[in-house]
Chains A and B, each alone.
Chain A
Amino acid sequence: MRANNHSITSQMVILLIITSLFIIIFGTLFQVWYSINHEKRTYLHESQLEAALIADLITAPLAFFDLQGINANMHRLHHNNNVLMSVVYSPDHTSLMSFNPGNQPLPSTIFPLGTRFESPNSNPWMLGSLKTTLEIKQNDQLLGYLYIEKKTDRITSFIMELLTAVTIFSIGLILFVYVVSRILSKKILQPILTLTETAKEVAENNNYSLRVTHNNQDEIAYLYNAFNHLLSETESLTSHLESRVASRTQELNDSLEILKKAQVQLVQSEKMAALGNLVSGVAHEVNTPLGNAITGGSIIVRETKELLKQIEEGTLKKSFMENKLHILNETADLLLKSINQAANLIRSFKRISVDQSIEEKRDFNLYGYLEEIILTFHNKLKKIPVTVLLEGDHDLIIKSYPGVYAQIISNFIQNSLLHGFNDTISDATITIHFEIQKGNLILTYSDNGIGMDEHMSKIAFEPFTTTKRNAGGTGLGLNIVYNLITQKLNGTVELDSELSNGIKLSLTLPVELSTSK
């Protein structure tokens, strides 16, 4: 906490000091530059005035060739310690009189005219010397030149004094800014720091009973009120949270239990429905050949009675005998065929029901097995009617769970019959195609029924998905199929369907091919 506290205060102090530094640096630079220029201008102006005065004073002595007079007037410069040298030249630049306390060599040239700073090097802080060259004229007639060279120590020392003063002032100002910013930041940031401390306390100890107080009605007060409000809300929420979570969990557990029971019941009823379908199918299919057999049997009984009666009466003729025997022979054939058909049906049903119950892997001919499954729907298919096209290798024998295949294909056919085909479908067709690809059995089931929309396609394999709940649909059929495909057969299934374009179910099933083909 101390570190954070330190950093936000330090940031503010540093910011203020940096801002002040910028202001001080630029202000000082401007002030120094201005002052130096002002001092230079003043010195220049003073020197010009001084030179003009001396030039005035020596005009007449120069005009009347009075060297003593010139010397006496130039003597006025002697009290000025800044003067390095002053020389009076004749119009042809011959030196006439000079004041040269340092015995320096006279300048090689005194031009240009006017006053200028001349430095032997380009250092801007070293001003060198101030040189003035004036024409001494009377009524436009040139009498000579006055050359004065002065030191610039005065400006240099002024610059040094100025820099010293500015440095001391700047340091003082920065210290002042530092102290003021410390005080200000403490005053302004304290409420925020208090809030931060409290927030941290709340976060660390989950103590939502804490509150912050602020006396002034300012932005901080709004912040504090909002924070307190948040804390009180959180406090009341937290206190009720656990009991609410517990009660909700219990409710959810109860719901889950009910749902599980319902699911078990639904699965059971789906099984019963399937069984019912099977039984009614068996009854219906077997009923026809048995009826034919009964009819045949009764014909045989009746014809035999007529034959026996004529034999007993002794009225039997050869032609009558041949006619009756022909009828008996045909009827017996019909009877045998009908009973064989019934026997075949019973055998198929038996095998399917056995497959569904024993759930063991065995070798079987897929094509033949699928044909038998289709056969169990013979009547229902005829009723609509639906053409079933079965395509694939007639001799393919695989080792798998035939009952599972029966359950899957039965479910598909039932779905097509129940949901896919209605009165608007004129040429109802179911196509079952299978082939072996890369060791997998690719089985495609498709119909040209009404199909299903995109939403329905997505949820078709989810449990309890049905559009015919009122008509007895459980919504578990495809879910059971899905579980059988994915868990029992370790395969995958893809549903491809568009509304009014039928459905297509593509199954990819890993299979063992039987070696005893």
Chain B
Amino acid sequence: MNATKVFTATFFLLYTASLLAVSEESIKTAYLERFTMFIQWPKPIESYNICIYNDDAFASILRKSYTSRLFNNHPLNVIPIDIGTSENETLRCHILYFRNSKPNQHESYLNALRKNNVLVISDDAADTKKGAMIGFYLQNNLLRFVINQRNLEDAHLNVSYKLLNFATVIEPTGGSK
């Protein structure tokens, strides 16, 4: 817990001093952890599976920075997903983060992900209109994100009102936890 505090505080100071002082990867690394605080999966979680689509380098950065760390008091695994990996492989993910590639546009694929309560995050905020639930964007030199509330609800992922209040929300449903 103390390690988390020191990490957060240090990061905070650096981040707030200047976005440039911290790499985008580092910020997103921290953001992924924070999402697990505000989003609840319907099934009990023993350990988080964080899947990185088509960016092994980022996956290895994540793995390194998440060593001996807990997400929301649970252990975690960073799983790199290559292009062409079967759908079944991706269904075990709790978070599926599309870095360089767009999320699969196939309706059936997205439906399968939704059924299995996978949180789909994309680097492109526009993807939230194409099946992703959270999409990053930059504003005034700050990394922000868009949330598609309907997509989250369809995947039976409960999102805290605190997060909704902070993020840019599209397709709001009026319901939040």
Task: Identify the A interface with B (CB < 8 A).
Answer: 56-57, 59-61, 63-69, 90-92, 94, 96, 138-143
Contacts and interface: CB of A to CB of B under 8 A. Distances in A.
18 contacts: A56-B162, A57-B162, A59-B162, A60-B160, A60-B165, A61-B166, A63-B34, A64-B34, A64-B166, A69-B166, A96-B12, A138-B37, A138-B162, A139-B37, A139-B38, A139-B73, A140-B73, A141-B4
B16 interface: yes
Chain B binding surface SS class = helix
B72 A141 contact: yes
Contact of A91 (B5, B31, B37): B5
Contacts of B72: 139, 141
A140 B8 CA distance: 15
B163 A91 contact: no
B9 interface: yes
A56, A63, A140, A143, most chain B CB atoms within 10 A: A63
Interface in B145-177: 160, 162-163, 165-167
A90 B12 contact: yes
A260 to B, nearest CB: 131
Contacts of B4: 141
B30 interface: yes
B61 interface: no
A64 B34 CA distance: 7
Closest 9 CB pairs of A and B: A60-B166, A91-B5, A60-B162, A138-B37, A90-B9, A59-B162, A63-B34, A65-B15, A139-B37
A66 B143 CA distance: 9
A94 B72 CA distance: 23
A334 to B, nearest CB: 165
Nearest to B167: A60
A71 to B, nearest CB: 11
Contacts of A138: 37-38, 160, 162
A140 to B, nearest CB: 7
Nearest to B12: A65
A67 B15 CA distance: 10
B41 interface: no
Nearest to B140: A68
Contacts of A140: 73
Nearest to A56: B162
A57 B165 contact: yes
A90 B5 CA distance: 8
A65 B11 contact: yes
Contacts of A94: 9, 13
B35 to A, nearest CB: 9
B30, B31, B73, B166, most chain A CB atoms within 10 A: B166
B93 to A, nearest CB: 20
A229 B162 CA distance: 96
B57 interface: no
A142 B4 CA distance: 9
Given A90-B8, A138-B160, A141-B4, A63 B15 contact: no
Contacts of B37: 63, 138-139, 141
Nearest to B5: A91
B6 interface: yes
B142 interface: yes
A90 B16 CA distance: 13
A86 B167 CA distance: 24
Contacts of A141: 4, 37, 72-73
Nearest to A89: B9
A141 B6 CA distance: 13
Contacts of A63: 34, 37-38
Contact of B163 (A60, A65, A68, A142): A60
Contacts of B27: 65
B21 to A, nearest CB: 12
Given A63-B34, A65-B30, A91 B8 contact: yes
Contacts of B167: 60
Nearest to A138: B37
Contacts of A60: 38, 160, 162-163, 165-167
A355 B165 CA distance: 151
Contacts of B166: 60-61, 64, 66, 69
